[in-house]
Amino acid sequence: MEQKHKENVFSKVTTPTGLNLEILEGKGRHYFKALSKSKGDSGLLIKYLIMQLVVFENKNNILKQIDEMHMRDISYLGEVIALMLSNDFK
């Protein structure tokens, strides 16, 4: 997957169902925007972080793509993003 964005890539992953995706390095602006939009709902926090940090080849209707992703893929992406939120990650 060719990098076509200005952000740093945190990780290139293959999801459990075989999607090859890039996950961008999260910044404060991503976190605070997701936190604000999620209004304290931890599930929505992960969803909004996925929307901002995961690079999808098809840029159209990303929300629908996320809503239609297999739960294993969503869970996996949430785990990868959670690594960025962890104090233990180096």
Q: Which of 4, 24, 26, 5 is nearest to 13 (CA)?
A: 24
Give the mean pLDDT of the chain: 89
Distance between CA 40 and CA 8 in Å, rounded? 27
Q: Is residue 90 part of a domain?
A: no
Quick check: 87 pLDDT over 70? yes
Alpha-carbon distance values, 20 to 6, 12, 16, 65, 90 (Å): 19, 7, 10, 14, 24
- The whole domain housing 80 covers 9-85
Tokens of 15: 């999801």
Number of domains in the chain: 1
pTM, two decimals, is 0.84
Quick check: 88 pLDDT over 80? no
Residue 4: its pLDDT value, please?
54
Dihedral sign of CA atoms 68, 71, 76, 78 in order: positive
Q: Is residue 1 part of a domain?
A: no
